[in-house]
Structure 1
Amino acid sequence: MKALIFNGALERRSQSTSGTISLYLEEKLKEYGIESTVFNLDESGIPLFDITLTRTPKGAEIMNSLFREADIHFWLAPLYHGSIPGVMKNCIDWLEISSKSNPPYLTDKTIGLICWADGVQAMQGINTMDAIAKSLRAWPLPFNVPITRNLLFTEGNSYQISQTYKNKLDLLVQIAATKTVASNPLVNKLS
């Protein structure tokens, strides 16, 4: 089984919220024997989505392959002005090049959602990602992790995840690792 950690933040600092969460998820996935790849937007070379281009940009082709090959996704995003960053949505829009594939888009992929905000509004980002994932025919997990950023890290250590959020992230990984869409009898019955 392969996992993709989609870092939807443009954080280029060596220590960052998204980088810390990504690293934590990678470590937890290893415990389940799951190979993971982190897809960082700041390294992706994804241009603005343009359906009039005659050739698909190389960065978009690579991104599509990574997204479609992974069985499990974890989408991470900060909340900016009530939603996910535009650059993250732009990247996801490039999945349109898979519309004629069989299966198209992210059909039957399992997706865990994580969003952080300085206040208590992170659920708005979760709701946005949930709607996007469903429109791409994926299965967002029923459990997700909205984060109040000032409670994410332990007091005195700005990049050590608090036990409260470790527990939540651990549960998200456990659910994703053990409850994939492929093992869901209802999905198999509907296929």
Structure 2
Amino acid sequence: MTNTNIVLLAGSNRKDASSTKLLRYMKERLKARGVEATLFDVYESPLPIFSPDDAEAHPNARRLIAAVQGADGLVFGTPEYHGSVSGALKNALDYLGASEIGGKPVLSVSSSGGAVGVSSLTHLQGIVRGLHGINSPEWVSIGGRQWFNADGSPADEGMRTRVERALDQLVALTTALKGVTAR
């Protein structure tokens, strides 16, 4: 699976966020498939509030734009706040446009304090459509107090299986679309 590059965008502004832990695990699972995977974590690389007047002035913004622009596929991860995506993720996505995301497959991932983060996933998929991305047919949501093993994997075997299935779909979609869609 060489020459496939997937960027994972962790949109939590919280240290040790479960959504970021899940994306770190997904990054390792993608690498195990031979996929080049890069994590951009807005907690570790914060972005100023987006302004169209100076959208590329900040070095972290330039790194984000370049990473997404060079990606073949994407994973967007967010906690669910008040029934939607985090402000940190939305702010990061405001730096990006159809020229960076258009025609690329995107897997949406959410973590919520309740049972599942369906509202944030629905909103995130709407944002992906607005950026002319292609939503992966799968999505992943972890709810409640999802625990992780010492190796960073989800403690729940069913969640690990769900992640593998979602990544299989994303890699297959990315491979099928790579070179087909205009960038």
- Alpha-carbon separation, structure 1, partners of 2:20 and 2:132: 27
Given the two structures, how large is their TM-score scaled by the length of structure 2? 0.85
Secondary structure of 1:48 counterpart: coil
Which AA in structure 1 matches 2:25?
A: Y
- Alpha-carbon separation, structure 2, partners of 1:66 and 1:122: 26
**After the TM superposition, which parts of structure 1 deviate over 6 Å for at least 4 consecutive aligned residues?**
none
Secondary structure of 1:73 counterpart: strand
Partner of residue 42, structure 2: 41
> In the comparison of the two structures, how many residue pairs are matched?
178
Which AA in structure 2 matches 1:169?
A: V
The structure with the larger Rg is 1
Long gaps (5+) in structure 1: none
CA RMSD of aligned residues (A): 2.7
Provide the identity percentage.
20
Residues 105 and 137 of structure 1 are in contact (CA less than 8 Å); yes or no, is this contact kept in structure 2? no
Displacement, 1:55? 6.0
Residue 106 in 1 paired to residue 96 in 2? no
Residues 117 and 143 of structure 2 are in contact (CA less than 8 Å); yes or no, is this contact kept in structure 1? yes
The residue correspondences of 1:129-168 to structure 2 (distance < 5 A) are 129-150=124-145, 152-153=146-147, 160-161=153-154, 162-168=156-162
Partner of residue 183, structure 1: 176
Deviations 1:123-160 (A, max 9, x none): 1010111011111111111111122233x337x98x65
Residues 123 and 146 of structure 1 are in contact (CA less than 8 Å); yes or no, is this contact kept in structure 2? yes
Q: Which has the higher helix share?
A: 1
Long gaps (5+) in structure 2: none
- Alpha-carbon separation, structure 1, partners of 2:43 and 2:122: 24
